[in-house]
């Protein structure tokens, strides 16, 4: 499911420059990127790199009556595509004759930021506007973010100077190494999309449909608490998820600082003797621990310290 995660959840060191005017300018550019990724009509081809893996995909996006529509198709490897209409996401895998459907209240397009969380970013990132250049033949401007702590990575963004659309992004670790990158190689911004650009390309007949069932939860409805919250990260969603009827229901809680996001999954299973583990999958760190008869999995495009600290603070609520 790497393609699905990349397409939906991706969406970056830089020099510390504590000059308020420049920080404010950089934040304003980020707000343009967040707005542009949601409101603009665009289509094009982008390349995603993570470690030694390279994926090329085609994207089309539009906003109609306040609802976002988006289609992403993989151009190499096995055929697959993701179609989003508002909060409904459909993932097509023609070779497996499988369609996975999920409703996401916090669905993020690609590329995208979380506008609601941008205001607090200067507390946790040094932000500055960078140089101008060209990406996919378009004049672009860079926005650079350096984390102020060891709980998040650095980001480099290049936006179209005219529209604000994000054209290129790098996710960078503390040593200055690029962990993940996205870049448009060809893009058209504005104007009508080609006929059928947002419709499935693959035959949807005689396929197996897997519906991921989700139920939104309020804080008081959860049987679990988070004792160790990370500075700048706030809870943006909590839900019960069941990926298939034969799978156990799990709790899924999402935290975000406006750029980085961390998912916590808690589900029945495992045994008391299971060891705590930290694994790295490209830019994603995954922390697993056993808590009684439940398994806790914390994952996100953040340093290992962040997922471990958040995961170690998970506790069962006393009744």
23 to 17, 116, 151, 282: CA distances (angstroms): 8, 18, 20, 30
CATH of residue 241? 3.30.200.100
Does the residue 204 lie in any domain? no
Give the mean pLDDT of 237-265.
Answer: 89
In a domain, 209, yes or no: no
Domain shared by 179 and 293, yes or no: no
Do 61 and 168 reside in the same domain of the chain? yes
Asked whether the predicted pLDDT for residue 90 surpasses 90, the reply is: yes
For residue 132, the enclosing domain spans 2-189
Mean pLDDT of 37-41: 92
Q: Give the predicted TM-score (pTM) of the model.
A: 0.84
Task: Report the pLDDT value the prediction gives residue 87, as an integer from 0 to 100.
Answer: 86
User: Domain total for the chain?
Assistant: 2
CA angle 116, 243, 3 (to 5 degrees): 65
The rounded percent of the chain whose pLDDT value lies above 70 is: 87
CATH code (residue 127): 2.50.20.10
Who has greater pLDDT, 201 or 273?
Answer: 201
Q: What's phi and psi for 278, nearest 5 deg?
A: -125, 125
Choice between 70 and 21, residue whose per-residue pLDDT is larger:
70
Chain center to CA of 138:
25
- pLDDT digits over 95-141, tens only? 999 999 988 655 444 555 555 566 788 999 999 988 999 999 999 99
Question: Among residues of the chain, what percentage have pLDDT more than 90?
Answer: 62
Same-domain check for residues 18 and 54: yes
DSSP characters over 242-255: ESSTTSPPEEEEEE
Asked if residue 156 and residue 77 are part of one domain, the reply reads yes
Residues 99 and 38 in one domain: yes
The pLDDT score that the predictor gives to residue 190 is: 94
Instruction: Kindly state whether residue 31 falls inside one of the protein's structural domains.
Output: yes
Give pLDDT, residue 242.
Answer: 85
- Do 11 and 155 belong together in one domain? yes
Structure confidence at residue 280 (pLDDT): 92
Q: Are residues 6 and 113 in the same domain?
A: yes
Residue 188 has pLDDT above 70, yes or no: yes
Tokens of 193: 């999309």
As a whole number of angstroms, the distance between CA 193 and CA 211 comes to: 29
Q: What is the 3-state secondary structure (H, E, C) of 38-55?
A: HHCCEEEEEEEEECCEEE
| Statement to judge: residues 126 and 224 lie in one domain | no
240 compared with 21, residue with greater pLDDT: 240
- 298 neighbors 287 (Cβ within 8 angstroms): yes
Boundary of a domain, candidates 170, 189, 208: 189
12 part of a folded domain: yes
149-158 pLDDT per residue, tens: 999 999 999 9
Tell me which of 45-59, 202-216, 277-291 is least confident: 202-216
Q: Kindly write down the DSSP assignment for every residue of 128-192, as one continuous string.
A: EEEEEEEETTEEEEEEEEEESSSSS-EEEEEEETTT--EEEEEEE-TTS-EEEEEEEEEEEESSP
Q: Are residues 183 and 254 in the same domain?
A: no
Q: For position 82, what pLDDT does the model report?
A: 94
User: Of the ranges 21-25, 143-147, 286-290, which one carries the lowest mean pLDDT score?
Assistant: 21-25
Which pLDDT does position 13 carry in this prediction?
24
**Same domain (yes/no): 101, 39:** yes
Both 164 and 230 in a single domain? no
């Amino acid at each position: 499911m790497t393609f699905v995660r990349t397409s939906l959840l991706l969406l970056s060191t830089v020099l510390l420059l504590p000059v308020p005017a420049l920080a404010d300018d950089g934040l304003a550019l980020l707000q343009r990127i967040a707005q542009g990724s949601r409101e603009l009509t665009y289509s094009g081809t982008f390349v995603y790199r993570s470690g030694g893996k390279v994926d090329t995909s085609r994207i089309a996006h539009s906003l109609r009556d306040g609802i976002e529509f988006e289609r992403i198709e993989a151009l190499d490897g096995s055929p697959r595509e993701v179609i989003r209409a508002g909060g409904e996401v459909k993932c097509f895998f023609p070779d497996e004759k499988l369609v996975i459907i999920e409703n996401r209240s916090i669905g993020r397009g690609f590329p995208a930021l979380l506008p609601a969380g941008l205001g607090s970013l200067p507390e946790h990132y040094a932000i500055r506007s960078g140089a101008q250049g060209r990406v996919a033949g378009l004049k672009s401007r860079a926005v650079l973010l350096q984390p102020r702590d060891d709980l998040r990575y650095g980001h480099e963004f290049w936006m179209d100077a005219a529209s604000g659309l994000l054209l290129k992004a790098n996710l960078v670790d503390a040593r200055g190494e690029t962990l993940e990158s996205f870049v448009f190689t060809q893009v058209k911004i504005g104007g009508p999309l080609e006929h059928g650009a947002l419709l499935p390309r693959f035959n949807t007949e005689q396929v197996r449909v897997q519906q991921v069932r989700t139920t939104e939860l309020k804080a008081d409805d959860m049987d679990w608490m988070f004792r160790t919250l990370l500075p700048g990260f706030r809870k943006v969603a909590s839900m019960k998820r069941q990926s298939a009827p034969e799978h156990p229901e799990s709790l899924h809680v999402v935290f975000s600082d406006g750029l980085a996001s961390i998912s916590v999954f808690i589900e029945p299973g495992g045994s008391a003797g299971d060891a705590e583990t930290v694994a790295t999958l490209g830019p994603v760190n995954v922390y697993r621990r056993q808590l009684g008869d439940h398994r806790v999995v914390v994952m996100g495009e953040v340093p290992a310290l962040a997922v471990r600290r958040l995961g170690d603070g998970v506790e069962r609520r006393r009744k």
